[in-house]
């Protein structure tokens, strides 16, 4: 097992040090810059930090919610704030988006930014930076976010329903991430955000009561864990933590719990049992510091997925909920 972990570690090391070079070969993300708003809106990141901090102080669960909102945005057509458009048949109205939260926080940030720097900062950049600050407030790592994204004009509900919802197999997950230009390492590492996230009981109901039509719980689940979840899930709308042991700590417990058969969604547990991802799960679970280091690398890569930066691509929305007139 040690030799396998060494190979995985080497692969991740290469991934870390080659990701920046790979990103530079992408025409769109090459135009992103950490100093993009240095002259046009120097207070931009301060405003975001203050707003995210204030909202998360009132409701800690908004931290993982904003990270999830960012993922759902980037997973469909790239990081273009298309998830924020509030109109019929948009991504926001899709079945896969029904439990997304944090829209009001983004609106609050946008309103304040428009007061300071009108018609300057995109909603896509706001959401990306807010996800970074939410990660930090949850106890995760800090990273410099490159800016310059434009807001997309297309948002289709049907496309949003392609985002993984917790019942897919590992092959489907790997294919989905590959289409975004992300690797098996990114899949496992970004799933680690579940160390501070929550899910509705509706998403795990079948695993608890009628796994694959058997009328029984999923046999891959820890029996005591099943019992605990049933007590918490009196209603489908109830929430349960992904991490049953330290849900408010951005740590590696999520991975350790998978080894105890305590993955909330089947997609969580399968990462532990599938040979293509098991090695990374083991490595992340044994080294919390390494998990945080790789998490920031994967989040930078996620934030660069299919961004719009060209002069004739997208726009800077005045209101994140609707296109400019």
Annotated binding residues for substrate, written as ranges, equal 164
**Is residue 49 annotated as a catalytic residue, yes or no?**
no
**What whole-number distance in Å separates Cα of residue 271 and Cα of residue 282?**
10
- DSSP-derived letter for residue 235 is S
Nearest Cα neighbor of 206 from 215, 198, 196, 197 is 215
DSSP string, 255-276: HHHHHTT--SSHHHHHHHHSHH
- Residue 322 DSSP SS3: strand
List the binding residues.
73, 76, 78, 80, 82, 91, 164, 194-195, 243, 251
Q: Terminus-to-terminus CA distance in the chain, angstroms?
A: 59
Nearest Cα neighbor of 194 from 129, 257, 106, 287 is 257
Among 17, 49, 70, 72, which one carries the catalytic annotation?
72
- Residue 198 DSSP SS3: strand
List the binding residues for Ca(2+).
73, 76, 78, 80, 82, 91, 195, 243, 251
Q: Which tokens sit at 54?
A: 């204030």
* 277, 183 contact by CB (below 8 A): no
List active site positions.
Answer: 72
């Amino acid at each position: 097992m040690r030799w396998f972990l060494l190979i995985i570690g080497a692969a991740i090391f290469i991934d870390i040090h080659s990701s920046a070079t790979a990103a530079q070969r992408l025409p769109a993300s090459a135009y992103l810059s950490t100093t993009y708003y240095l002259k046009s809106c120097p207070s931009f990141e301060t405003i975001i930090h203050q707003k995210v901090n204030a909202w998360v102080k009132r409701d800690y669960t908004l931290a993982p919610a904003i990270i999830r909102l960012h993922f759902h945005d980037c997973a469909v057509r790239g990081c273009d704030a298309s998830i924020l458009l509030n109109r019929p048949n948009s991504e926001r109205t899709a079945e896969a988006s029904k439990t997304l939260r944090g829209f009001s926080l983004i609106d609050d940030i946008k309103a304040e930014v428009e007061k300071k720097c009108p018609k300057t900062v995109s909603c896509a950049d706001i959401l990306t930076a807010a996800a970074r600050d939410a990660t930090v407030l949850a106890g995760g790592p800090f990273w410099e976010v490159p800016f310059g994204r434009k807001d997309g004009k297309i948002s289709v509900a049907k496309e949003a329903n392609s985002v993984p919802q917790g019942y897919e197999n590992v092959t489907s997950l790997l294919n989905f991430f590959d289409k975004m230009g992300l690797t098996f390492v990114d899949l496992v590492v970004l799933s680690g955000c579940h160390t501070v996230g929550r899910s509705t009981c509706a998403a795990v109901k079948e695993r608890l009561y009628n796994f694959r039509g058997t009328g029984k719980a999923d046999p891959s689940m820890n029996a005591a864990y099943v019992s605990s979840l049933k007590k918490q899930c009196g209603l489908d709308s109830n929430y349960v933590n992904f991490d049953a042991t330290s849900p408010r700590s951005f740590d590696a417990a999520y991975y350790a719990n998978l080894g105890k058969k305590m993955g909330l969604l089947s997609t969580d547990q399968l990462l532990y049992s599938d040979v293509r991802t098991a090695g990374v799960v083991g490595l992340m679970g044994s080294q919390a510091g390494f998990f945080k280091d790789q998490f920031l690398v994967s989040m930078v890569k996620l934030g660069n997925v299919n961004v719009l930066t060209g002069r004739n691509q997208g726009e800077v929305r005045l209101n994140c909920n609707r296109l400019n007139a």
